[in-house]
Structure formats: structure tokens, C-alpha cells
Amino acid sequence: MKIIKLYFFLFIMLMIELLGCGNVCNELTEKKNMLLKESPEKLLNNKRRKKLVYSVIGTLSAILGIAIIGMGINSHFKEKKKTIWDEVGNDMDSILNRTIAVGILKTRKNCNREIEDIEKIIPSQEEIQNILIYQMENKNIKITDGYMKEIQSLSKYVLYNIRNSMKHYTKILSYYS
């Protein structure tokens, strides 16, 4: 990102130089013609105007460069939003494993010998979210509004794992029965 901003600044400076280079060549030819035709007062006024224009262009390009560099420095030191993984990354594995284990145990309690549809006996997403919240409270993790979206996505992950383990469990039951 910083390299792009630097190239952008260099590109702007190059464009200003190219625009000014054409003016310098034209100025030299115009000066020769003016010296022969015009009075010195008009030449001095033209020179003052050109100096004023060049000083304004130089000042604006310097301010623009400082602003671009300032934006790069500001974005570099800006704090990044913390996610649930930054704070509880080490504990999250055990929380997810416990939640999956609790979900499997609840599903097995609802399970009979003859299982027709696994979706009927799997806990709902709200139940899994409540289990996740309970597990997080046991680890003394403060739950904020930002964590609720993470908890919803984690509950889908837990439901997926419970569903797969129960499909495997039913295959084993049907094989041995």
C-alpha cells in the first residue's frame, strides 16, 4: 500500500514536470521574440506571473505529497479491529470440542435404535449458540455484540460436525445390528 502511494506521488510529480518542460521550451522561444518586440515592463510582469504560478504549483504539489504520506502513516498506525480469535484463540479449540461433544451427547440421548431422520434429533442452532455462550462464560470470556456474529458462524460449524458424526454413528449402528 505504501509503495502504491509513493508511485502515485512520483507519477504526479512526473506529470507536473512534463507539463512544465513544454512550457520551458516555449518560454525560451517566446523570450527571444519578446525581447525584440515588447517593453521590459511587460516582460517583468509576465515573469512575476509565471513565478507566482510556479510557486502555487510547487506549494500545491508539496501539500499533496505531505497529505498522501500522512494518509499512509495514519493507516499504518491505525488499530485493527480485534476478533474473537485474537482474544480467545487458545481457548476456542477446547470450547468448540466441548460444544460438539455436548451436542453429540444430546443427539444420542434423543436417538433410538431405528433412526429415520437425523435432522429431527439434532439440537437446533439456538441450543448450540446457548451451549457456546455457556462454554465461553465458563472460560471467563466477555461476550460483546461483535462476538454474536462469530457465535452464529461457529454454531453452524458445530452443527455440521454433529451432523457428520451422527451420520457416521448411524452407519456403525446399522452395520452392527
With helix as H, strand as E and coil as C, how does the chain read?
A: CHHHHHHHHHHHHHHHHHHHHHHHHHHHHHHHHHHHHCCHHHHHHHHHHHHHHHHHHHHHHHHHHHHHHHHHHHHHHCCCCCCHHHHHHHHHHHHHHHHHHHHHHHHHHHCCCCCCCHHHHCCCHHHHHHHHHHHHHHCCCCCCHHHHHHHHHHHHHHHHHHHHHHHHHHHHHHHHC
What one-letter code names the amino acid at 77?
A: F
The answer to whether residues 67 and 48 belong to one domain is yes
Most confident of 48-57, 80-89, 107-116, 124-133: 124-133
pLDDT digits (tens, 9 = 90+) for 129-155: 898 888 888 888 777 777 788 888 888
Residue 77 C-alpha cell reads as 498506525
Domain around 48: 2-77
pLDDT digits (tens, 9 = 90+) for 83-99: 666 666 777 778 888 88
- Tell me the average pLDDT across 61-89: 70
The answer to whether residues 141 and 102 belong to one domain is yes
Quote the pLDDT of residue 149: 80
CA 94 to chain centre: 28
Residue 159 C-alpha cell reads as 452443527
The answer to whether residues 106 and 172 belong to one domain is yes
Among candidate residues 18, 53, 77, the one where a domain is terminated: 77
The answer to whether residues 6 and 55 belong to one domain is yes
The answer to whether residues 154 and 93 belong to one domain is yes
Give yes or no for a contact between 136 and 143, defined as CB atoms under 8 angstroms apart. yes
Average pLDDT score over the chain? 76
pTM: 0.49
**In this structure, is the dihedral angle defined by the CA atoms of residues 105, 107, 112 and 116, taken in order, positive or negative?**
negative
The total domain count for the chain is 2
The answer to whether residues 89 and 172 belong to one domain is yes
At residue 59's C-alpha, the angle toward residues 53 and 61, to 5°, is: 100
Give yes or no for a contact between 112 and 169, defined as CB atoms under 8 angstroms apart. no
